[in-house]
Amino acid sequence: MDKIYFSGMSFYGYHGVFAAEAELGQRFYVDLALSVDLSKAGASDDLNDTINYAEIFSSVQQIVEGQRFKLVEALTANIAEKLLRQFPLAEVKVKVTKPNPPINGHYDSVAIEMTRKREDFR
């Protein structure tokens, strides 16, 4: 299976358990690995035979910036489900990174990664 990758998409969202997270918001980063058959597009060199990258970005942006989730797990699951329902993908791997969760300590970020297959959403 072929793959389309998106790395480091950046969005501003209001996700988190605490009221301050909902009020102030913060940056979230999303990475995708999308499994899809790209053989037709590779042979035709025609955008109509592949998935429009701008549409993928827009779909993720609508969820991260347009909805509110308490858990990064719920945000990640919703992205995966929407992409599988909206596009002819065989599998999606979604990683959402929250660089500044309210945790005392020293770390770069926390992230949730989920892999979902088309047959999970039939």
Single-letter amino acid code for the residue at 66: G
99 and 29 in contact (C-beta within 8 Å)?
Answer: yes
Q: Is 40 annotated as catalytic?
A: no
Q: Which of 70, 93, 98, 117 is catalytic?
A: 98
Q: CA nearest 58: which of 83, 89, 29, 80?
A: 83
Please tell me the distance from the alpha carbon of residue 32 to that of residue 55, in angstroms, as a whole number.
Answer: 13
Active site residues: 98
